[in-house]
Structures are given as structure tokens and as C-alpha cells.
Amino acid sequence: MTRFAPGDLVAVLTTQPLDRALDYRAPEGGCGVGDFVEVPLGPRKVLGVVWDEGIGSYDLSKVRAMNRVLDVAPMRDEMRQFLTRAAEYTLTPMPAMLRLATRSPGLGSDVSMRKVYARGGVEPDRITDARRRVLEALAEYGDLSFTLSELSEMAGVGSSVVKGLVKQGAVIERDTPRDAPYPRLDPDLPGKVLAGNQAGAADTLVRAVASGTYGTTMLRGVTGSGKTEVYLEAVAECLRQGRQALVLLPEIALTSEFLSRVEARFGAKPAEWHHGVTQTERRRCWRMVGEGAASLIVGARSALFLPFRDLGLVVVDEEHDTSYKQEDGVLYSARDMAVLRASICKAQVVLASATPSLETWANVEAGKYGALTLTSRFGDRAMPQMRAIDMRGEDLPGGRWVSPSLQAQIADRLERGEQSLLFLNRRGYAPVTLCRACGEMIACDHCDARMVEHRFLKRLVCHQCGETKPMPEVCPSCKVEGKLAAVGPGVERMAEEAAALFPDARVEVLSSDMYQSARALKARIEAIAAGDADIVVGTQLVAKGHNFPLLTLVGVIDADLGLQGSDLRAAERTFQLMRQVAGRAGRAERPGEAWLQTFQPEHHVIKSILSGDEDGFWAAEAAERKAAGVPPYGRMAGIVLSSPDMQAAFDLGNHLARIDGPLRRIGAVLYGPAPAPIARIRGRHRLRMLVKAEKSAPLQSAVSEWLAQVRVKGDIRLSVDIDPQSF
């Protein structure tokens, strides 16, 4: 790596919203490309990375000196290359990309200069309750060190208690954080004996990892077929090679169940990177990944931006999951970024799913990805039986949603002491609050969205901006009292109905907004899995990656819900979600059933869900997308213009539509500007434009050339989404 002598001119990329790297003088002791540094910017000190030689484009006498080089492993060439290519692909400015790669608490120059605290060798003279809590908190994390505020927060004491212990030597104060490496994982502990085609699939992956080259493989198999067991063998091989492995899970699937499986296989728990872990743990993870002292990381999508020293394998579990697409800030697909990162560092990618995305199918078809299929559930447990309940023939009073047929099924499970899941992808009590006097539906003041009643919170909530207000007594429009009525079902209302139908059953709602923290939610999921509920009413949260061994019935309240609207991906999503939810039933010794309430049992998507004819479904989907020329058989970019001033946004949009030469030159077609699917959020009007191009067209360069012709001024914001989720 290039070294610079003190005083040399170097270019530093900072995380500040600037459009380029800035020149600085190398500090005393010099620096090298990739070093994390602290540099002055105006009156502030900011974090940056030494990126290149300086360009010296402005007055050399004004170039300032860096403050210092931070005490962390420098950013590797591979990482700089990854960030550069990811920025090009997603049309994201480099500083925003760098921010993703520096999300470590303690990395910002301010935090890293704080003192940290660890256990000292001396016992305190007198032990109080508060002191004991501090020492226990430190004991729990072994050799980790904490900042003062972290430690007092963890122990639930004031900082003076910690200071008191420092004075006695029971706690010591250090200048730099020193984090403990993770326990070693042993790849050679005996794993499960793989059965049927599991062994062949594992073998293929193991050989791919051993080859030390890049490659991507789709690992497909119904829920319970043993995909996890199979990819853990690929992880084992990666560890044997002395390289690092990353397993990405949808955030909610990051439960202790998965960690325990890793521990059972490798003798120790992996490092974790997601919102549910403490700041201290994240800082430790970030540093140890960079030093190669963490060999297996289990994390959410942002873990892709950790500073791996030698990444050999990335598993994207439930690869079709929509939460892998980051929907604000930098708009990236974790699946695509995993492939990009792996191709740069010669690693293997495994895309595991029961219902792979059409994108992945297309890449298999094109010969870019390998494909492995596990054909049956482990131990030949049957896939749940899928059946339709034709709601047109059910006798159901208004304001009720559980059909007599479904009710009978639930009663049956209760009698046998088994669990039922009622699935409805709608948070809250009711999606609409209507005034029966004037017909007004209560909407958010800032968004083009209805307020959703949440009885548990006793408030109306906007699911777009999060704004809440108390449930009004009188209609905000006509001021008539007592006429507001809940219309339509949400999970809370379903739970009410279930409790009324089965007064003796333990009914529980599983929805993200019912819990204070991710940790509390996960704890609750584990308790329910252990049998602590009879009827679970849940949103798509429950569809993801957790085993409920006692669950034998899934009742889908409204299987038609996702099929409404014009989104071309609606069929794919519904198919995936329904198959995945159904897969929750019958995972243990007992067979499961999934009953779908529908008003259109003849709909081709509903029919494929019921028959399980995946190949037929994907073939039909692929044909439709090919005909429309949309992803994955064509390319798209979505541009959203937002502004408090609708006219200003329209003016810019119309102007952009007139100067679309760069798009036309690559044969792309531009649609819009038109109001976005949600036309106003947080008081900002939103317009969308869609660019559609052929698969082989250089979409990014054309879009950036096109957008470079305008300057986005005033209060308008423009965001570009390459490969948008909906179209």
C-alpha cells in the first residue's frame, strides 16, 4: 500500500456530504492509503479515510494537516474497490457509501477519544448494590471495555458509582478501547449426518468454498428441508480455510435459536451485527472483523459493509425477503451487494430460500449462478396441506373475518393442544376509521395516507411518517360525536375476534409495534415457540425464519390482500409470502395445514399457491415480465422528486422529461413524472419517474448523465433507486 511521508499531499474521503475527497497534509509519522484518520473540517474534526494522492487543485498554502491516524486496522484495497463499485452501481455519492462502512460506535473521532472502563484487579472496600451491578455488568462481558455512559447505562447506576470504583482500583480507566476477540469456532466438531440430497448439496458448496474463487449458488428447498444444515457445512469449510464467513438473515430471524444452532455445530457463538445488540458489542464486532479475530458473523444487511479481512463466504438466507432492500438513505439490495463484494474478494455466495426471487431464477437460467435443490423436508415430514376457503360460500356476519370453516379448524387444534396462527399482514386494530355521519376517513395531516387505529397504544398512527394522535371523540370534519367507526381488520382486531370465539384460549398478537424493543419481541417469540400461547395472530413478522414446533395450523385471513394494486411484483410477493407463512405449520413431529380465506380461488396466483406448482408459477411470471420488458428481464431506475411545493417538483420533473436525450441514446423509455404510489409523506409531495431499459443497456451511466444536466435547488430532493422494488 502506498505510504505518505509527513507533510505529503493526500486526498481524504470523509463521511461529510461533499462531492469529492479533500486534500490534507500527512501527519507526523506519515500515513498510508486506507488509514482511518481524523481531519479538521471548518471548526470540526471529522472522520475520513486516506484515499489517494492529493490532487493539489487549490491553494497549497491553505491545505491543512490531518490531526491523527486512528488506531484501527486500515481499510483494505478490496473494501475501497467494493465501495467504489457499489457507489457506481447505486449512483450513490462516495461519502454516503463510506458512512455505511464506518458505522461503528467508537469510530467517530469524538467517541474513540473517550476513556473506556474495564475490570481492575482490586476488590472494592465496601460492596453496595449499585457497585455490585457495575461489576456484574463488566463480568458478563469478560475483557470488553465500555465508555462511561455505556457502563452506567448497562448497570443502571449514575456515573459517580463507576468513578468511585475507579478510585479504588476495582475498575480501571484506559485511553483506547480494547476489545476481546471472539471465541474460536471449531469447524471439525461433528455436524449432523446429512441425509438424502443434503449431502450432495453440502459437498458441492464445500468444494466451491475450497476452490478459493468467486461463485454464486442458489440453494432452494422448502422450509424444513435442511438448507441451514447444508450451508453450515459451507461455513465449516470456510473456517477450515482460515477465512471469514458472513450469514445474513432478515433482521427478525436473528433469534437465539439460530445462535444456538451455530453453537451446537461449532462449539461457540458467532459475532452478531444488527440493531438488537449493544453499542459496545457492535464496536467490538467491527474491530474484531477488521483484525480477523471474528471468523463467523451473523447479521442484518448492513453487515456487508463490515471491514472483513478475508471474507470467503456470504450466505444470504431467505434471499427473496424484501427487507434486504434498504429503502432509505443509500438504496441498495443486500443480495446484489453480497454478490458484488464476493466477486471482488474471491468469495462464494449462497442464496438460500424456499421461494427464490425471480432475479435469482433468471441468473440461474442465464448460467451465472449455480443451483442446488433440496427436494423434501427433513425426515420426510410432509409439507403442510394447503387448502382454500371460498369466502363466497361462508356465512359470516359483518365485522367478522374468521369463517365458520376456519373456526372449526382452530377448535380442533385447541382440543389437541396444538397452536394455530392467524396471519394478516396489517398492523393495528383497523386500517380505516370512518365517520358514519359524513363519510370522512381520518387521514394523516402530513401524508397521503390514512391513520390506522392502534387500540393497544390507544392512538391513531400514520404508518408512513409515524405520527400519532389520540383517537378523537368527534369527527374532525363534521364535528358530530360518537359516529367514528373502525372499518376493516388489523391484527389487534383479529385477536379480539379470536378471543371472543375462544374465550378459554391464550391469544397473542405478534406485531412489531407491540414491543418496546427488538430484544423484547424476540424473547416473546421464543416463549411462544415454547408453547406460551394457543392462538397467535401475526403480521409478516411471523413468516420469517423462526420454528414454532407446536404450530400445526396456519389460517390466512385474507389471501387476496397482496394481489390488489398494479405492482408487477404483487404476484411474486404474494406467492412467496403465502408459501413461507404456510411453511410455519407442521415443522416438528406433527403434520401441518394451511387454510387460505379467499374470494377468488380461481385466481392463477392463488391456484399456484395451493397446488405448490412452483415451476409453473415462475414460468408464467417470467413470461409476463419478459413481455413487459421489466426486471429481471429488463432494467429499471426509479427517480423520486419530493418537495413541500408540488409545483416546484413538477417543474423539475417536466424539465427532466424534456431533456431525456441521454436516456434515449441508450434506447431507454421514460415514464412520468406522476404522483408516486404514496403521493405525500411528511408534508413533502412526491413524484416518481421510471426509466426502463434493455437488460444490456448502460443504465447507470445514462441516468447519471441525464441527471447531471440539472441542479437540484431549494427544497427539492431527488433520489435514484436502481432496480426499484415496485414498478
Binding site for Zn(2+), by residue number, is 435, 438, 444, 447, 462, 465, 475, 478
d(CA 394, CA 416): 25
Q: At what angle do helices 129-140 and 159-168 cross, to 10 degrees?
A: 80
> Is there a contact between 685 and 679 (Cβ–Cβ < 8 Å)?
yes
Residue 36 pairs in a beta bridge with: 49
Cβ at position 467, least distance to Zn ion in Å:
5
324 binds ligand ADP (CB under 6 A): no
> Shortest distance, CB of residue 319 to ligand ADP, whole angstroms?
12
Q: Which is nearer to ligand ADP, 258 or 429 (CB)?
A: 258
Q: Which does 444 bind (CB under 5 to 8 A by kind): ligand ADP, Zn ion, none?
A: Zn ion
- 539 contacts ligand ADP (rule: CB under 6 A): no
CB of 228 to ligand ADP, least distance (A): 3
Sheet holding 684-694, edge to edge: 669-681, 684-694, 634-643, 717-722
Considering only residues 223, 302, 348, 580, which one is a binding residue for ligand ADP as defined by CB under 6 A? 223
**The entry of Zn ion, ligand ADP, none that residue 462 binds, CB within 5 to 8 Å by partner kind:** Zn ion
Taking the complex as a whole, the smallest distance from the CB of residue 432 to Zn ion amounts, in Å, to 15
224 binds ligand ADP (CB under 6 A): yes
552 binds, among Zn ion, ligand ADP, none (CB under 5 to 8 A by kind): none
SS (HEC) of 66-100: CCEECCCCCCCHHHHHHHHHHHHHHCCCHHHHHHH
| CB closer to Zn ion, 270 vs 431 | 431
Cα 717 to Cα 657: distance, rounded to the nearest angstrom: 17
Rounded least distance, CB 190 to ligand ADP, Å: 11
Which of ligand ADP, Zn ion, none lies near 223, with the C-beta cut-off 5 to 8 A by kind? ligand ADP
Q: What one-letter code names the amino acid at 375?
A: T
**How would DSSP label each residue in 389-403?**
EEGGG----TT--S-
Task: Give least dist CB 447 to Zn ion, A.
Answer: 3
> Which one of ligand ADP, Zn ion, none interacts with residue 70, CB within 5 to 8 A by kind?
none
- What the block records as the C-alpha cell of 643 is 418537495
One of 68, 99, 220, 227 touching ligand ADP (CB under 6 A): 227
Between 665 and 717, CB nearer to Zn ion? 717
**By rule CB under 6 A, what count of residues binds ligand ADP?**
14
Give residues 544-603 in contact with ligand ADP (rule: CB under 6 A).
Answer: none
Q: Are 235 and 206 in contact (CB under 8 A)?
A: no
Look up residue 100 and give its three cell numbers: 455505511
Residue whose CB is less far from Zn ion, 661 or 683: 683
DSSP type of residue 379: G
Measured distance CA(273)–CA(500) in Å, rounded: 41
Alpha helices by DSSP H, 445-509: 491-501
Residues lying near Zn ion in the complex (CB under 5 A) are found at 444, 446-447, 462, 464-465, 467
- Is 378 an interacting residue with respect to ligand ADP (CB under 6 A)? yes
Q: Which stretch binds ligand ADP (CB under 6 A): 145-153, 220-228, 423-431, 472-480?
A: 220-228
| Dist. CA 115–CA 162, nearest whole Å | 12
Which partner from the list Zn ion, ligand ADP, none does 467 bind, CB cut-off 5 to 8 Å by kind? Answer: Zn ion
Would you count residue 465 as binding ligand ADP (CB under 6 A)?
Answer: no
DSSP of 144-180: --EEHHHHHHHHT--HHHHHHHHHHTSEEEESS---P
Helix 614-628 / helix 570-582 crossing angle, nearest 10 deg: 160
Q: Which position among 150, 229, 272, 558 is part of the footprint of ligand ADP (CB under 6 A)?
A: 229
**Separation of alpha carbons 62 and 54, rounded Å:** 13
Distance CA 290, CA 74 (A): 8
Contact flags string 495-524 toward ligand ADP, x per CB under 6 A: ------------------------------
Which of Zn ion, ligand ADP, none does residue 224 bind (CB under 5 to 8 Å by kind)? ligand ADP
Nearer to ligand ADP among residue 193 and residue 627 (C-beta): 193
Which residues make Cβ contacts (< 8 Å) with residue 607, sequence separation at least 6? 601
DSSP letter at 270 equals P
3-4 and 551-556 as β-strands: parallel, antiparallel, unpaired? Answer: unpaired
Residue 145 binds ligand ADP, judged by CB under 6 A: no
For the chain, the farthest-separated pair of C-alpha atoms sits apart, in whole angstroms, at: 84
Phi and psi at 251, nearest 5°, equal: -45, -45
CB of 378 to ligand ADP, least distance (A): 4
Closest Cα partner for 285 from 319, 315, 246, 258? 246
The count of C-alpha atoms lying within 13 angstroms of the C-alpha of 517, restricted to the half-sphere facing its C-beta, is 8
Pick one of ligand ADP, Zn ion, none as the site partner of residue 523 (Cβ within 5 to 8 A by kind): none
> CB of 325: closest distance to Zn ion in angstroms?
22
- Integer Cα distance of 427 and 561 in angstroms: 13
Q: Which of ligand ADP, Zn ion, none is residue 194 near (CB under 5 to 8 Å by kind)? A: ligand ADP
Stretch that binds ligand ADP, among 225-233, 362-370, 532-540, 703-711 (CB under 6 A): 225-233
How much helix, strand and coil, in percent to the nearest 5, is found in the chain?
35, 25, 40
Residue of the chain from 34, 54, 221, 431 that contacts ligand ADP (CB under 6 A): 221
Angle among Cα 86, 360, 98 to the nearest 5 degrees reads 15
Q: How far is the CB of 590 from ligand ADP (least distance, A)?
A: 14
The answer to whether residue 217 forms part of the interface with ligand ADP (CB under 6 A) is no
Site for ligand ADP in 164-203 (CB under 6 A): 192-195, 198
Query: Is residue 421 within 8 Å of residue 538, measured between CB atoms?
Result: yes
**Beta carbon nearer to Zn ion, 381 or 450:** 450
By CB under 6 A, name the binding residues for ligand ADP.
192-195, 198, 221, 223-229, 378
